[in-house]
Chains A and B, each alone.
Chain A
């Protein structure tokens, strides 16, 4: 991991990986959403509203998966104090927050025709809302710490600690449908054992999940490249100012 934490090496890899993730992500997302919207059959129980699943599930996966990445980056920043880990966390947080918000709103749009209500204080929905607040808290704290310590120099330890404490919410989200009697259904896709979802519905869903994940990766890489470039500008400006003083 330390090998890739070198900013120059990271930039070399990111310059190759960004267009690849972007192109492949656009193709897979486009295919997944097209099949999900027009070519896949309606569900025998949910009817046409099952099509919302092809945007809701990838958004939920990236909302919580993004927070897992944020927690890993925060732990790395706290333990090894590597600025690239802080930059990774700052790049992930706004993207994860947007996906978390999309998950909540698309879930509400699915809930109304299926459950008869946009929102219930169900364990899964509430824990997902808490995740959005954790993202917003991280962003606010990180911005406040950045103002004090400069864009690259600030370690943003408070934000990293908040991200790590908030990671306790991830197993709560995952197991909420098993621990509590929730309105939200249990997992339909299983890594071990048979998935309870029909293959005709599973195929576009997996395409969307893969496509959205690659686009998420491309966005995070672009954000990290922007922050590194901004850091270089600030460092050079400081040196120029010191030289002319």
Chain B
């Protein structure tokens, strides 16, 4: 499915669904997963350290 746009750029509508959106979902998903993992593990470890200090 290939079409020429007014600007002369080759446009393929399937590009978005098959390649561009999956690339963004993968990257943003990976980034969010890393941020959540790092934040939650930091909070848990620092809370444990604080509790241990209070004992």
> Which residues of A pack against B, CB within 8 Å?
22, 29, 33, 37, 42-44, 47-49, 51-52, 55-56, 59, 95, 98-99, 101-102, 105-106, 109-110, 112-113, 212, 215, 218-219, 222-223, 225-227, 229-230, 232-233, 236-237, 240
Contact = CB atoms under 8 A, between A and B. Distances in A.
A55 B48 contact: no
Contacts of A43: 9
A225 B12 contact: no
A222 B41 CA distance: 8
Contacts of B30: 98-99, 101-102
A245 B15 CA distance: 67
Contacts of B7: 42
A22 B42 CA distance: 14
B26 A102 contact: yes
Contacts of A95: 34, 38
12 contacts: A43-B9, A59-B27, A102-B26, A105-B23, A109-B23, A113-B18, A226-B41, A226-B42, A232-B52, A233-B52, A236-B52, A236-B53
Contact of B19 (A52, A59, A101): A52
A229 B16 contact: no
Nearest to A29: B31
Given A47-B9, A218-B35, A237-B52, A113 B19 contact: yes
Contacts of A233: 45, 48-49, 52
B39 A47 contact: no
Contacts of A227: 45
A184 B23 CA distance: 18
Given A95-B38, A110-B19, A230-B49, 11 more contacts: A33-B28, A44-B8, A52-B23, A102-B26, A106-B26, A109-B23, A218-B38, A223-B41, A225-B42, A226-B38, A236-B49
A41 to B, nearest CB: 8
Nearest to B15: A48
Contacts of B11: 42, 47-48
A222 B42 contact: yes
Interface in B1-25: 7-12, 15-16, 18-20, 22-24
A226 B46 contact: yes
Contact of A230 (B22, B24, B45, B55): B45
A18 to B, nearest CB: 8
A44 B41 CA distance: 45
